[in-house]
């Protein structure tokens, strides 16, 4: 009888460990670029660790959808926290001024032309997606940094009136050609067209 109880407890503990690990989210250093003044979506009053914890909570609730490939998830932030994220995107018009420069995100990546708007009013944030990569996906390029099942790679504020935020063409190119800094992926002609069309109408504010 006692052995049966011990065996049951061991099974229960093991299942609980698996459940917790399944929804665990670590913080990858790549996301730490997203701070005020970076020209990217940033969070005003939550730490990266708190954002990762929220992502874990949303995973358990099923508040996510699949990303561009298996092992990538887009976790929707709770409406109660949406106001904490700032969307640096403006809608382009004939008065928009731009700055173009050659840059790179990481030392080992190829340089690319980055375009930023110099004027315009940021669009109000309606939703926020947290981008999570599975441990196995990151391991493909030796970019896994924690023991968590998932790692927070990025987060995107989605402007009001839009359902989602299309991936940028440069990121898609880096992924599909499997260049340094990219994560293997293939896109349809429609996805390419949708991305180019969107980023001809909207731009990140410097």
| Rounded mean pLDDT, 32-60 | 94
Report if residue 137 sits inside a domain.
yes
Report if residue 10 sits inside a domain.
no
Q: Is the pLDDT of residue 114 over 70?
A: yes
Give the other-Cβ count within 10 Å of 6's Cβ: 10
CB of 206 closer than 8 Å to CB of 99: yes
The pTM for the full model equals: 0.80
| Rounded mean pLDDT, 9-30 | 62
Distance CA 48, CA 121 (A): 26
Q: What is the DSSP string of 69-116?
A: STTEEEEEPPTTTGGGEE--EEE--TT--EEEEEE-SSTTSPPEEEEE
pLDDT at residue 97 in the model? 98
Report if residue 193 sits inside a domain.
yes
Question: How many structural domains does the chain have?
Answer: 1
- CATH number reported for the structural domain that contains residue 46 in this entry: 3.30.2310.50
DSSP H helices in the chain: 2-22, 48-61, 135-139, 169-176, 189-199
Report if residue 14 sits inside a domain.
no
Q: Which residue has the higher pLDDT, 7 or 55?
A: 55
């Amino acid at each position: 009888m006692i052995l049966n109880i011990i065996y049951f407890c061991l099974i229960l503990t093991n299942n609980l460990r698996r459940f917790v690990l399944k929804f665990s989210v670590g913080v990858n250093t790549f996301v730490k670029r997203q701070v005020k003044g970076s020209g990217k979506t940033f969070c005003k009053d939550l730490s990266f660790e708190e954002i990762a914890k929220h992502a874990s909570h949303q995973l358990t609730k099923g508040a996510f959808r699949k990303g561009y490939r298996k092992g990538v998830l887009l976790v929707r932030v709770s409406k109660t926290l949406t106001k904490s994220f700032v969307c640096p995107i403006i809608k382009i018009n004939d008065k928009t001024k731009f700055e173009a420069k050659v840059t790179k995100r990481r030392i080992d990546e190829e340089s690319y032309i980055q375009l930023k708007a110099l004027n315009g009013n940021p669009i109000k944030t309606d939703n926020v997606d947290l981008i999570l990569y599975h441990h196995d996906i990151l391991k493909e390029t030796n970019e896994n940094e924690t023991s968590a099942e998932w790692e927070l790679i990025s987060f995107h504020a989605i402007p009001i009136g839009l359902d989602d935020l299309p991936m940028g063409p440069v990121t898609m190119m880096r992924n599909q050609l499997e260049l340094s800094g990219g994560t293997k992926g293939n896109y349809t002609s429609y996805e390419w067209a949708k991305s180019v069309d969107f980023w001809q109408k909207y731009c990140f504010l410097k």
